[in-house]
C-alpha cells in the first residue's frame, strides 16, 4: 500500500484532523446520519441525454477517488457501488463561501452532490455541482494511484481498501453472489427444498477432517463446528423429504493453501431413490447452467487454459487413473511401497498413515493436477469412502465420483450407504484407523446408525466446494481471492505511532 513515509504519517494524520476540526468549527457535522441520492453513477450515465436536456436536478454520493483544483474550479471523481462519475465545482455556481469548503476535502472523503448534468469538452459526463455535503471525513490515505494496493497479504487483511481501489475485485464478489442465486434457483427448479442443519454438533462427521472444538457452558458439553452437513441431511431423507439441499459454512481444522481455508462454503444436495449416476448428471447440468449464467457461455477462461463445459466429461475409474500415473497397479503395492512413492513424488506421507490416506495423497500428487478439463473420477476403493454404498459389481469398490476441473476437486458424490450393519462395520474400521493415529478418520455415530435402522431409502448425494467453483467461474487461482475475509495469521503491529496519534 502506498502511503506517506512512516516519519510523515503523523504529519499526514494531523493535516486531516485539522480539516476535520475546520468542518466542525463551521458548525457542520462531518459524519451526518443519511443522504438521499436520486441516482447511482451508472444510472446518471444511462439516462444522460434526457437529464442533460431537461436540466433536472440530480443528486449522487460517493467516495472521492480523484481531485484536481484549478483556482476557482475543481474536478473530482466520486465512486459509488456502480462506478465513478465526475463532479465539477465552480465558484460562481456555489458561491465563494461554499466553494472554500471544497478546499477542505481530501481524497477518500465521502460526499453528496446536487446539480445538473453536462459534458465537458473532452466528452466526459459530469455533474455541475450546485451544492454538496461532506458525509464522511476520511483520515487514512488511499493507495497511490499507479502502484495501487500491490501487497496481496495486505489486500486480504484490509479488504475494505482492496474493494475501494480495485473494481475487478468487486466484480469477483458480485459474480460470487450471482452464482449463489443461480445455484439456488436451479436446485429449487429441480424440486429440491433448501434446509438448515446445525453448525454446532455433538459429533462431527460426513467428511475426513479434524474439527474445531468448543464448549457449551449451559449444557456442560463439548461441541464441534461441523466439518460437513451430510449426516444431518440424510436424516432428513429418512424423515420423508425426497430432495433437500443446504448452503452451509463448514469448518476444518487443517492446513491452509491456495485450495483450502479453515472456514469455507459447501453446497450439499441429496436425492431419494436416485443413485450416483443420476446425481452425476445433475451436477454436470448444474455446472453448465452456472457457466452460461455467470460467464456468458460454456467456454470459461482459467489461467492459461480454457475450460470447455460443453465437451464430453469423461469418467475414469480411480484405481485405473492412479495406476496410470504411477505406472504400477496400486492395489498390488504394500503400504511401505506406497509411502515411498509419496516421498518420490515430493511429499512424505505422515507417520502411521492408513492405506486410504496413502492412496489419497498419491492421487493428489500425481493425478489431480492433470485434470484440467471436467473429468469424473469414479468407483473409489471402499477404504476411502466409509459413507458410500458398495459398488454393485465389485464389493471392493464403492459407487462414488469426484468431479475435477482446472486441477481442483470441485464436487464429491455417491450412492448413499443405507445398510445399518454395513455402516456400523465401516465406522468401526474408521475408529480403528483413529486408534492407529489417523485423527481425521470418522468417529462412531450411534444416532446416525439408528436413523439408518429406521430406514433410509436408496439415495444419492453430492457436496460441491462452492469457493472452488467460484474460483473457476471468475478465473482466480487462490481461494483467498474469492473469500471476502480469508483467515490470516495475526498481523504484527506496525502502526503504533499512527494509532497513538489517532487516539
Q: What's the confidence (pLDDT) of residue 299?
A: 96
Give the pLDDT band of residue 62 (cuts 50, 70, 90).
very high
Report the distance separating Cα 442 and Cα 460, nearest Å.
20
Report the distance separating Cα 26 and Cα 270, nearest Å.
63
Are the CB atoms for 471 and 282 separated by under 8 Å? no
Q: What's the confidence (pLDDT) of residue 112?
A: 98
Report the distance separating Cα 93 and Cα 338, nearest Å.
79
Domain(s) labelled CATH 3.30.930.10 in the chain stretch across: 164-314+373-481
Model confidence at 438: pLDDT above 80: no
Give the pLDDT band of residue 1 (cuts 50, 70, 90).
very low
Q: Dump pLDDT digits (tens) for 99-133.
A: 999 999 999 999 999 999 999 999 999 999 999 99
Q: Which phi and psi (to 5°) does residue 426 adopt?
A: -65, -45
Report the distance separating Cα 226 and Cα 232, nearest Å.
10
Q: Dump pLDDT digits (tens) for 135-176.
A: 999 999 888 644 456 678 889 999 999 999 999 999 999 999
What are the percentages of helix, strand and coil residues in the chain, rounded to 5? Answer: 40, 25, 35
Q: What's the confidence (pLDDT) of residue 107?
A: 95
Q: What's the confidence (pLDDT) of residue 437?
A: 75
Cell of 469: 467453483
DSSP 349: P
Q: Dump pLDDT digits (tens) for 186-232.
A: 999 999 999 999 999 999 988 888 999 999 999 999 999 999 999 99
Give the whole-number percent of the chain exceeding pLDDT 90: 83
Rounded alpha-carbon distances, angstroms, from residue 245 to 259, 267, 271, 388: 23, 7, 9, 18
Q: What is the dihedral of CA 461, 231, 223, 436, to 10 degrees?
A: -90
Average pLDDT (5-12) is: 71
Q: In the CATH scheme, what is the homologous superfamily, with its name and number, of domain 6-148? A: Nucleic acid-binding proteins (2.40.50.140)
Q: Dump pLDDT digits (tens) for 245-264.
A: 999 999 999 889 999 999 99
Average pLDDT (289-294) is: 97
Domain(s) labelled CATH 2.40.50.140 in the chain stretch across: 6-148
Helices 420-435 & 446-455 angle (0-180, nearest 10): 160
Closest CA to 473 of 339, 310, 298, 319: 298
Mean pLDDT of the chain: 92
Q: Which phi and psi (to 5°) does residue 473 adopt?
A: -75, -20
Are the CB atoms for 398 and 414 separated by under 8 Å? yes
Q: Dump pLDDT digits (tens) for 294-315.
A: 999 999 999 989 999 998 899 9
Q: What's the confidence (pLDDT) of residue 75?
A: 97
Q: What's the confidence (pLDDT) of residue 7?
A: 52
Q: Dump pLDDT digits (tens) for 267-277.
A: 999 999 999 99
Q: What's the confidence (pLDDT) of residue 493?
A: 66
Q: What angle do CA 350, 355, 360 make, to 5 degrees?
A: 75
Mean pLDDT is lowest, of 95-99, 121-125, 349-353, for 349-353
Average pLDDT (465-487) is: 97
Give the pLDDT band of residue 96 (cuts 50, 70, 90).
very high
Average pLDDT (237-242) is: 98
Cell of 402: 469426484
Q: Which CATH number fits domain 164-314+373-481: 1.10.3720.10, 3.90.1170.50, 3.40.50.1360, 3.30.930.10?
A: 3.30.930.10
Amino acid at each position: 500500500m502506498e502511503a506517506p513515509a512512516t516519519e510523515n504519517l503523523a504529519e499526514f494524520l494531523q493535516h486531516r484532523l485539522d480539516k476535520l476540526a475546520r468542518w466542525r468549527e463551521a458548525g457542520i457535522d462531518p459524519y451526518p446520519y443519511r443522504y438521499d441520492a436520486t441516482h447511482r453513477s451508472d444510472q446518471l450515465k444511462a439516462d444522460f441525454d434526457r437529464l442533460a436536456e431537461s436540466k433536472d436536478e440530480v443528486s449522487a454520493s460517493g467516495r472521492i477517488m480523484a481531485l484536481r483544483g484549478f483556482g476557482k474550479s475543481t474536478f473530482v471523481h466520486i465512486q459509488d457501488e456502480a462506478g465513478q462519475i465526475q463532479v465539477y465545482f465552480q465558484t460562481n455556481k456555489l458561491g465563494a463561501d461554499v466553494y472554500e469548503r471544497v478546499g477542505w476535502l481530501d481524497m477518500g472523503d465521502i460526499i453528496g452532490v446536487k446539480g445538473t448534468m453536462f459534458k465537458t469538452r473532452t466528452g466526459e459526463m459530469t455533474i455541475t455541482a450546485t451544492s454538496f455535503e461532506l458525509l464522511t471525513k476520511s483520515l487514512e490515505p488511499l493507495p497511490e494511484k499507479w502502484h495501487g494496493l500491490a501487497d496481496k497479504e495486505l489486500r486480504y487483511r484490509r479488504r475494505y481498501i482492496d474493494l475501494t481501489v480495485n473494481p475487478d475485485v468487486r466484480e469477483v464478489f458480485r459474480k460470487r453472489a450471482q452464482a449463489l442465486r443461480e445455484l439456488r434457483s436451479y436446485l429449487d427448479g429441480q424440486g429440491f427444498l433448501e434446509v438448515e442443519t446445525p453448525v454446532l454438533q455433538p459429533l462431527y462427521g460426513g467428511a475426513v477432517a479434524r474439527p474445531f472444538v468448543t464448549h457449551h457452558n449451559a449444557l456442560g458439553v463439548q461441541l464441534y463446528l461441523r466439518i460437513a452437513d451430510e449426516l444431518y441431511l440424510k436424516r432428513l431423507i429418512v424423515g420423508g423429504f425426497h430432495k433437500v439441499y443446504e448452503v452451509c459454512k463448514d469448518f476444518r481444522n487443517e492446513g491452509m493453501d491456495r485450495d483450502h481455508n479453515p472456514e469455507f462454503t459447501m453446497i450439499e444436495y441429496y436425492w431419494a431413490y436416485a443413485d450416483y449416476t443420476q446425481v452425476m448428471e445433475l451436477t454436470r447440468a448444474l455446472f453448465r447452467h452456472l457457466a452460461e449464467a455467470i460467464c456468458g457461455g460454456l467456454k470459461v477462461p482459467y489461467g492459461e487454459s480454457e475450460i470447455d463445459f460443453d465437451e464430453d466429461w469423461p469418467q475414469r475409474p480411480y484405481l485405473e487413473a492412479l495406476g496410470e500415473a504411477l505406472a504400477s497397479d496400486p492395489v498390488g503395492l504394500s503400504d511401505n511401497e506406497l509411502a515411498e512413492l509419496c516421498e518420490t513424488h515430493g511429499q512424505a506421507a505422515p507417520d502411521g498413515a492408513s492405506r486410504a490416506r496413502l492412496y489419497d495423497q498419491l492421487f493428489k500428487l500425481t493425478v489431480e493436477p492433470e485434470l484440467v478439463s471436467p473429468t469424473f473420477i469414479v468407483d473409489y476403493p471402499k477404504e476411502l469412502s466409509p459413507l458410500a454404498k458398495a459398488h454393485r459389481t465389485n464389493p471392493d469398490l464403492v459407487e462414488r465420483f469426484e468431479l475435477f476441473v482446472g486441477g481442483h476437486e470441485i464436487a464429491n458424490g455417491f450412492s448413499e450407504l443405507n445398510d445399518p450393519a454395513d455402516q456400523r462395520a465401516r465406522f468401526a474400521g474408521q475408529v480403528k484407523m483413529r486408534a492407529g493415529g489417523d485423527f481425521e478418520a470418522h468417529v462412531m455415530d450411534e444416532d446416525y446408525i439408528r436413523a439408518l435402522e429406521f430406514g433410509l431409502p436408496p439415495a444419492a448425494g453430492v457436496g460441491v466446494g462452492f469457493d472452488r467453483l467460484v474460483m473457476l467461474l471468475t478465473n482466480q487461482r487462490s481461494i483467498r481471492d474469492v473469500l471476502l475475509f480469508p483467515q490470516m495469521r495475526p498481523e504484527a503491529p506496525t502502526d503504533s505511532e499512527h494509532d497513538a496519534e489517532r487516539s
